[in-house]
A and B are shown apart, each in its own frame.
Chain A
Amino acid sequence: GAGVSQSPSNKVTEKGKDVELRCDPISGHTALYWYRQRLGQGLEFLIYFQGNSAPDKSGLPSDRFSAERTGESVSTLTIQRTQQEDSAVYLCASSPARNTGELFFGEGSRLTVL
């Protein structure tokens, strides 16, 4: 597709369950970011992938969070043993290499942990 695609758009889960969120970046974009926005808070960086380099995981809030990316394509964000405070909109963004820094965002995955 032409833009960043995220799925699912909405996910409701029970506390303690694992969830997987998927991001399909724009073709050719080597950089991929995951952010989350909890209710009433700003956009919070989680993890950054750039090509084949080791990812920058400095924003992951706990070891329950992990993310993978296959080459320069799809990325999956996994949250294990979800907690209520994980409820948020999870946004994925991609960016081409050596550009001006503009990020192209998907529409986000809204996660609700009951």
Chain B
Amino acid sequence: DQQVKQNSPSLSVQEGRISILNCDYTNSMFDYFLWYKKYPAEGPTFLISISSIKDKNEDGRFTVFLNKSAKHLSLHIVPSQPGDSAVYFCAPRGSKLIWGLGTSLAVNP
């Protein structure tokens, strides 16, 4: 039972434009979410997080939005850069779960 889903396996955007990556979850008890970024042949690295007491968290070019009623998160990257090309995972805290395939972002120069 996959409790976190990223329904878009891939996304392609032009450099300078906005990238929007989406994540849906089923368990309303999740209270903290983290986004990770993964380059090929490397382990995932933490990018940004959000607590369920907030609906937005911003860090530079990265903003995460949380809609608790819809059980939906989104990660916005603006402006997108070629170095942002990677696989992005969202995960609830206490991540013993199957994370899913993530979303592969390609930012084209």
A residues within 8 Å of B by Cβ?
A: 4, 33, 35, 40-45, 48, 56, 58-59, 91, 93, 100-108
Please count how many residues in chain B sit with their CB below 8 Å of the partner chain's CB atoms: 22
Query: Which residues from chain A contact B2 at a C-beta distance below 8 Å?
Result: 42
Pairwise interchain contact A59-B96, C-beta atoms closer than 8 A = yes
Pairwise interchain contact A107-B96, C-beta atoms closer than 8 A = no
Pairwise interchain contact A42-B32, C-beta atoms closer than 8 A = no
- Identify which of A101, A104, A105, A108 contacts B49 (C-beta below 8 A): A101
Pairwise interchain contact B98-A43, C-beta atoms closer than 8 A = yes
- Identify which of A40, A43, A103 contacts B46 (C-beta below 8 A): A103
Q: How many A-B residue pairs have CB under 8 A?
A: 58
Q: From residue B8, how far is it (CB to closest CB) to chain A in Å?
A: 14
B residues within 8 Å of A by Cβ?
A: 2, 32, 34, 36, 41-46, 49, 89, 93-102
Q: Which of A33, A56, A93, A101 has the most CB of B within 10 A?
A: A101
Q: From residue A50, how far is it (CB to closest CB) to chain B in Å?
A: 11
